[in-house]
Amino acid sequence: MEKIAGEIEKDREHFKEIFKDCADIKMRDMYLGEKKDIGCFVAYIEVAVSDVLFEKSMIGKLLNTCSSKKKEDVYLCLDKNALGISDFTILDTYEEAADGLLTGDAILFVDGYPHAIKIPDQGYPNMGVNEADSEKVIRGSNEGFADSVKVNTALIRKRVRSPKVKVVEKKVGLRSKTNVDLVYMEDLIYPELLEEIQKRLDTFQIDGVLDSGVIEQLTEEKWYSPFPQFQTTERPDRAAMAILEGRIVLLCDNSPMALILPTDYNSFIKTSDDYYNRFEIASLGRILRYLASFFAMTLPGLYLAVTNFHTQILPTTLLLSFAAAREGVPFPSIVEVILMELSFELLREAGVRLPGAMGNTIGIVGGLIIGQAAVEANLVSPIVVIVVAFTALCSFAIPNEEFATAFRILKFFFIIFCAWIGFYGFLLCLLTVLIHLSHLKSFGIPYLMPIVGADLNDYKDERDCVGRLPLIYLNRRPIFARRTERIKLKRKE
Amino acid sequence: MFSENRQISKRQIRRLLIYDLFGIGTLLLPVFLTKFAGRDGIFCVLGAWLLLLCYLKFLEKMQRDVTQNYIIYLEQSVGKVVAKQFLMIYFVYCILFGAYALFTAASVIQRCLLREESFWLILFFLCLLAAYGVYAGMEGRARVYELLFWFLMFPLFLMLLFSMPQVNTEYWCPIFDTGSRDMAQGIYLAVIFCGVLFLLPFLFGFAKKKSQVVSAARQALAFFSCMNVTVILILMGIFNENALKKQHFPIITLMSMIDLPGGFLKRQDAFMVAIWFFTLYAFLNTGLFYSEYNLKAICFRSKKFLPLAICVILMYGIAGEFYRKSGAVFWYYKFLWYVGTPAVILIPVVAYLFAERRKENDRKK
Identify which of A309, A427, A452 has the shortest CB distance to residue B147: A452
Contact call for A310 and B144, based on CB within 8 A: no
Query: A181 has which bridge partners?
Result: A169, A251
B121 → chain A, closest CA residue: A421
Backbone φ, ψ for residue A258 (5° rounding): -90, 150
Whether A353 has its CB under 8 Å from any CB of chain B: the answer is no
Whether A274 has its CB under 8 Å from any CB of chain B: the answer is no
Q: How far apart are CA A150 and CA B18, in angstroms?
A: 54
- Confirm if B303 and B93 have CB atoms less than 8 A apart: no
- What is the average per-residue pLDDT within B50-65? 94
- What is the distance in angstroms between the Cα of A185 and the nearest Cα belonging to chain B? 18
Q: How many CB atoms lie within 10 A of CB A492?
A: 3
Nearest residue to A144 via CA among A130, A159, A126: A130
- Confirm if B21 and B220 have CB atoms less than 8 A apart: yes
What is the average pLDDT score of chain B? 91
- Confirm if B113 and A428 have CB atoms less than 8 A apart: no
User: Can you spell out the DSSP letters for B20-56?
Assistant: HHHHHHHHHHHHHHHHHHGGGHHHHHHHHHHHHHHHH
Cis bond before residue A450 (omega within 30° of 0):
yes
Q: How far apart are CA A113 and CA A75, in angstroms?
A: 7
Q: How far apart are CA A439 and CA A404, in angstroms?
A: 20
Percent of chain B past pLDDT 70, that is, above it, reads: 97
Whether A314 has its CB under 8 Å from any CB of chain B: the answer is yes
pLDDT per residue over A98-121, tens digit each? Answer: 888 888 888 889 888 888 888 877
| The residue count for chain A | 493
Query: B286 has which bridge partners?
Result: none
Nearest residue to B285 via CA among B124, B65, B137: B137
pLDDT (0 to 100) of residue B6: 61
User: Can you spell out the DSSP letters for A266-307?
Assistant: HHHH--GGGTTS-HHHHHHHHHHHHHHHHHHHHHHHHHHHHH
Cα B136 from chain centroid?
A: 20
Identify which of B3, B132, B266 has the shortest CB distance to residue A314: B266
Identify which of A315, A431, A448 has the shortest CB distance to residue B264: A315
Mutate to test the interface with A, among B143, B264, B278 (most CBs of A within 10 A): B143
Contact call for B117 and A424, based on CB within 8 A: yes
Q: At what angle do helices A401-439 and B269-299 cross, to 10 degrees?
A: 50
Contact call for B2 and A313, based on CB within 8 A: no
User: Can you spell out the DSSP letters for A29-48?
Assistant: EEEETTTT-EEEEEEEETTT
Instruction: Give the dihedral sign, CA A131/A136/A142/A147.
Output: negative
Q: How far apart are CA A286 and CA A232, in angstroms?
A: 18
Identify which of B10, B140, B266 has the shortest CB distance to residue A435: B140
Q: How far apart are CA A344 and CA A440, in angstroms?
A: 30
- What is the average per-residue pLDDT within A219-246? 94
- Secondary structure (3-state) at A474: coil
Picking from A83-87, A231-235, A307-311, B321-325, which range would have the lowest pLDDT averaged per residue? A83-87
User: Does pLDDT of A33 surpass 90?
Assistant: no
Contact call for A452 and B10, based on CB within 8 A: no
- Secondary structure (3-state) at A7: coil
Task: List, as ranges, residues 462-481 from A with C-beta within 8 Å of B.
Answer: 479
Cα distances from B164 to residues B71, B169, B227, in angstroms, run 46, 10, 14
Q: How far apart are CA B238 and CA A54, in angstroms?
A: 92
Contact call for B136 and A435, based on CB within 8 A: yes
Q: How far apart are CA A336 and CA A334, in angstroms?
A: 5
Percent of chain B past pLDDT 90, that is, above it, reads: 67
Q: How far apart are CA A114 and CA A54, in angstroms?
A: 24
- What is the average per-residue pLDDT within B15-39? 92
- What is the distance in angstroms between the Cα of A416 and the nearest Cα belonging to chain B? 14
pLDDT grade for A392, boundaries at 50, 70 and 90: very high
Backbone φ, ψ for residue A23 (5° rounding): -65, -20
Nearest residue to A484 via CA among A185, A263, A188, A184: A188
Q: How far apart are CA B312 and CA B125, in angstroms?
A: 11
- Confirm if A171 and A179 have CB atoms less than 8 A apart: yes
Amino acid at B45: V
pLDDT (0 to 100) of residue A45: 86
User: Does pLDDT of B154 surpass 60?
Assistant: yes
DSSP B264: S
- What is the distance in angstroms between the Cα of B266 and the nearest Cα belonging to chain A? 5
- What is the average per-residue pLDDT within A407-434? 95
- What is the distance in angstroms between the Cα of A445 and the nearest Cα belonging to chain B? 6
Task: List, as ranges, residues 417-456 from A with C-beta within 8 Å of B.
Answer: 421-424, 427-428, 431-432, 434-436, 438-439, 441, 443-446, 448, 451-456
Whether A56 has its CB under 8 Å from any CB of chain B: the answer is no
A423 → chain B, closest CA residue: B113
Q: How far apart are CA B128 and CA A432, in angstroms?
A: 10
B-chain residues near A447 (CB < 8 A)? none
Whether A196 has its CB under 8 Å from any CB of chain B: the answer is yes
- Report the run of H or E that residue A161 belongs to, with start and end: none
Please list, in sequence order, all residues whose beta carbon lies within 8 angstroms of the beta carbon of residue B351, skipping any fewer than 6 positions away.
B62, B73, B74, B77, B78, B86
Contact call for B12 and A452, based on CB within 8 A: yes
pLDDT per residue over A288-317, tens digit each? Answer: 999 999 999 999 999 999 999 988 888 888
A439 → chain B, closest CA residue: B140
pLDDT per residue over B88-140, tens digit each? Answer: 999 999 999 999 999 999 999 999 888 888 999 999 999 999 999 999 888 88
Cα A162 from chain centroid?
A: 19
User: Would you kindly state where each structural domain of chain A is located, as residue ranges?
Assistant: 8-119, 130-263, 279-445, 449-485
Whether A309 has its CB under 8 Å from any CB of chain B: the answer is yes
pLDDT grade for A127, boundaries at 50, 70 and 90: very low
Contact call for B143 and A438, based on CB within 8 A: yes
Please list, in sequence order, all residues whose beta carbon lies within 8 angstroms of the beta carbon of residue B343, skipping any fewer than 6 positions away.
B89, B93
Burial A199-212 (b: 16+ CB within 10 A, else e): ebbeeeeeeebebb
- Confirm if A32 and A40 have CB atoms less than 8 A apart: yes
pLDDT grade for A128, boundaries at 50, 70 and 90: low
Whether A194 has its CB under 8 Å from any CB of chain B: the answer is no
Among chain B, residues having any CB pair with chain A shorter than 8 Å are 1-3, 5, 9-12, 109, 113-114, 117, 121-122, 125, 129, 132-133, 136-137, 139-144, 146-148, 208, 263-268, 270-271, 273-274, 277-278, 281
Show the DSSP H helices in A309-466 as ranges: 316-326, 333-353, 356-364, 371-376, 382-397, 401-439
